[in-house]
Amino acid sequence: MSLFDHKISELKELLHKKEITVTDLVDESYKRINEVDGKVQAFLTLNEDKARDYAKQLDDAIGNRSEYGLLFGMPIGVKDNIVTKDLRTTCSSKILENFDPIYHATVAQRLNEAEAVTIGKLNMDEFAMGSSTENSGFQLTKNPWNLETVPGGSSGGSAATVAAGEVPFSLGSDTGGSIRQPAAFCGVVGLKPTYGRVSRFGLVAFASSLDQIGPITRNVEDNAYLLQTIAGVDENDSTSANVEVPDFLSALTGDVKGLKIAVPKEYLGEGVSEESKQSVLAALKVLEGLGATWEEVSLPHSKYALATYYLLSSSEASANLSRFDGIRYGYRTDNAENLIDLYKQTRSEGFGNEVKRRIMLGTFALSSGYYDAYYKKAQKVRTLIKKDFEDVFEKYDVIIGPTTPTPAFKIGEKTDDPLTMYANDILTIPVNLAGVPGISIPCGLSNGLPLGLQIIGKHFDESTIYRVAHAFEQATDHHKAKPEL
């Protein structure tokens, strides 16, 4: 049995009783990485020397003080688009392959204050653009459940490392489903918080009005621990919300009596596999047995979500990525003859195909003569999508559906067809456009591959999502299933 089969609360108790040490936990993490990461390829950069030194410091503190950080001694992996001081941050892009930040992202700083131990940085789709982690500039992360399938994306490394038992939890980022979709594919728990719940300061921007950092864990309780640590207003981020952070752990009561669930007919419609539908219906039966009720509803504008998302996110990406020009930091071409040539060559050589595709799409949508027809119209549709959610939440507590239309697909299966790849996020994207929170939890297997149940809540009501997810988890064994590597 691995130490990481224990929950955070159990590990903390073992530490305080001195039955284990922080060094034991860090050893367990690097031992497992040495055993399986050659196959999974989740980590890009390891922080081994510093992690071991910090573990010794924390071991010396056990029993010698009255207060300990919320994640005292817990090993964690961090997605490689979250900047970490003196620890390489590449966004899985050649354009940043030698970038060593001089400051911490706010979430990294909060992990330090909670006394977590950063094990290393995790692979992802380049600049978080992708649904399969096949767009990394460095390596191809594989799904621990079946090494021939993708782990999802863009936080594929973050989900795969938790599923493979290399770390007990990790941080990812979610722009259109990039935490929830890989969590579903890898059979773990992944939460996208409400937009503004967690600071984006130090998260390398893809689409600033959609990006949100969130936790990926083995179980719901650990997820609440991690969100508790990173949530809260930040003076460095004007989009972080000055809203009180509740005690998320106190929401884990297991009681859902009287809870009203909405099930959008669009989430069980065309393109969603029979196994995904059946796993959701089975989950609803479990929740009914616990005293909840559900009804079918409609989110009529969700059919426009995919087009809306790719116009808005690509437009924001084209503006955000203009800073990577070869002048200030990052990769610079050796072949330039003049300044314009320097820009062109640096970006041509440094960015991968998917990033270039989205920059071109976004630049087109923002260009004179097309702005009103595309970008402005997409903003109006986004408002309608948000209104759909608000209307449903007037009568219901949560919305439930599948996280993804199908289980994980084979590596290389969709790389030649960007539109089919984009459609993979059709069930997660509306949540980002509306800015509401959503969680994916394991709800079954299809041909040995995990399926995810998505629970969506009202703005800043992560507590209710956790309550429902925890009640379902306690009533089932889906979260106990593990891949055999």
The catalytic site residues sit at: 79, 154, 178
Rounded CA separation 155/129 (Å):
10
User: Could you write out the DSSP letters of every residue in 164-208?
Assistant: TTSSSEEEEEESSSTTHHHHHHHT-EEEEPPTTSB--TTBPPSST
What residues contact 105, with CB distance under 8 A and at least 6 apart? 82, 83, 84, 199, 201, 202, 203
The encoded tokens of residue 397 equal 């507590």
- Nearest partner of 116 among 157, 170, 196, judged by Cα: 170
**Cβ pair 226, 363 in contact under 8 A:** no
Helix orientation angle between 106-113 and 220-230, rounded to the nearest 10 degrees: 110
- Nearest partner of 154 among 120, 167, 137, judged by Cα: 137
The encoded tokens of residue 200 equal 């984006």
**Cβ pair 129, 205 in contact under 8 A:** no
What residues contact 328, with CB distance under 8 A and at least 6 apart? none
Rounded CA separation 392/217 (Å):
29
Neighbour-count burial of 253, counting CB atoms closer than 10 A to its CB (0-12 exposed, 13-18 middle, 19+ buried): exposed
- Nearest partner of 59 among 73, 45, 47, 46, judged by Cα: 73
CA geometry: angle 4, 10, 14, nearest 5 deg: 95
User: Beta strand 117-122 with 398-402: parallel, antiparallel or unpaired?
Assistant: unpaired
**Residue 401 DSSP SS3:** strand
Rounded CA separation 363/9 (Å):
48
**Cβ pair 219, 256 in contact under 8 A:** no
